[in-house]
Amino acid sequence: MADGDRIPKVLVVDDEPNIRELVEVALKFHGCAVAVSASGKDALHQAEVYEPDLMILDVMLPDMDGFEVCRMLRADGNDVPVIFLTARDTTSDTIRGLTLGGDDYVTKPFSVEALVARVRAVLRRTTRSPEGVVQPDGAALLQVGDLELDIERRSLRRAGVEVHLSPIEFSLLSYLMQHANTPIEHGKLLRTIWGPEYGCELEYLRTYIKRLRKKIENNAMHPEYLLTVPWMGYRFCNPAERAATFEAAEAGIGSID
């Protein structure tokens, strides 16, 4: 499952021994190193000492729920990718998990093959650059308005202040900025950033767009950079160019069409 000789480390957190063992055996068979935990408190400890590349996190734990574990990880600046594992199959739970910083959501009962495929997909997108995202040999900056995106260092500054982005947030924003003014359809964004298995998970994309808007827009309810293209997808726009276009149109010099 790993690129080259590197073996990905996965932390499996579930209070059901049968599930822990099943997932552990399957992931080891597919080339992962695996540690296990049965509680939220121990999961937080192991996340720090084991430093996993990915965490499979049950939502229903005996001491605290998986959502709280993820929230605490993110509050501490830990961006380990998280796949939530839960018996609760509702859109609100999915959105809550993604909003807190989760990367994927698998419901019980599940097939081992499906879970392994999701693990592969998350590891792939957090260790490789999405197709179509430039990875230059030297430093490359994308500067639009008060945003400055450093592709090589995978960092964002807004008006000179560093803005923390998760790996998925960075990849999504980077892709949209590199295709500025071009409407990108939902399915293409999902397949490019999340992987070919994710062409229909619109809630994933909508949740991450909302998260990005909160971080880069002056008013997330009235975005200037990340614009919705109705019934189609999203478009990254330079607010200055947009304003100039409207001014030209009002002056009778050009058209906004």
Higher pLDDT, 90 or 120: 120
- CATH code linked to domain 9-127: 3.40.50.2300
196 DSSP assignment: G
Every domain of the chain and the residues it spans: 9-127, 141-250
Bridge-based pairing of strands 161-163 and 104-107 is: unpaired
Q: What confidence score (pLDDT) does residue 81 get? A: 94
Write the pLDDT tens digit of every residue in 46-101: 999 999 999 999 999 999 999 999 999 999 989 999 999 988 777 788 888 888 88
Helix (H, G, I), strand (E, B) or coil at 86: strand
Q: How far is CA 69 from CA 72, 128, 195, in A?
A: 5, 26, 26
Q: What confidence score (pLDDT) does residue 152 get? A: 85
Higher pLDDT, 199 or 184: 184
Orientation of helix 40-49 relative to helix 66-75, angle to 10°: 40
Higher pLDDT, 239 or 155: 155
| The pTM of the whole model exceeds 0.75 | yes
Q: What confidence score (pLDDT) does residue 257 get? A: 34
Mean pLDDT for the chain overall? 86
Residue 108 — φ and ψ, nearest 5°? -90, 145
Is residue 33 predicted with pLDDT exceeding 80? yes
Query: In what helix (H) or strand (E) does residue 149 lie, and over which residues does it extend?
Result: strand 147-150
Q: What confidence score (pLDDT) does residue 137 get? A: 45
Write the pLDDT tens digit of every residue in 8-18: 999 999 999 99
Domain 141-250 has CATH 3.40.50.1220: no
Contacts of 153 (CB under 8 A, 6+ apart): 139
Is residue 166 predicted with pLDDT exceeding 60? yes
Is residue 227 predicted with pLDDT exceeding 50? yes
Contacts of 33 (CB under 8 A, 6+ apart): 7, 8, 9, 10
Residues composing the chain = 257
2-11, 18-27, 82-91, 246-255, range with greatest mean pLDDT = 18-27
Same fold for the domain at 9-127 and the one at 141-250? no
Average confidence (pLDDT) over 182-200: 90
User: 1 is written with which tokens?
Assistant: 């499952």
Q: Is 247 exposed, middle or buried (0-12, 13-18, 19+ CB in 10 A)?
A: exposed
CB atoms inside a 10 Å sphere around CB 221: 6
Q: Which of 2-11, 162-171, 180-189, 197-206 has the lowest average pLDDT?
A: 2-11
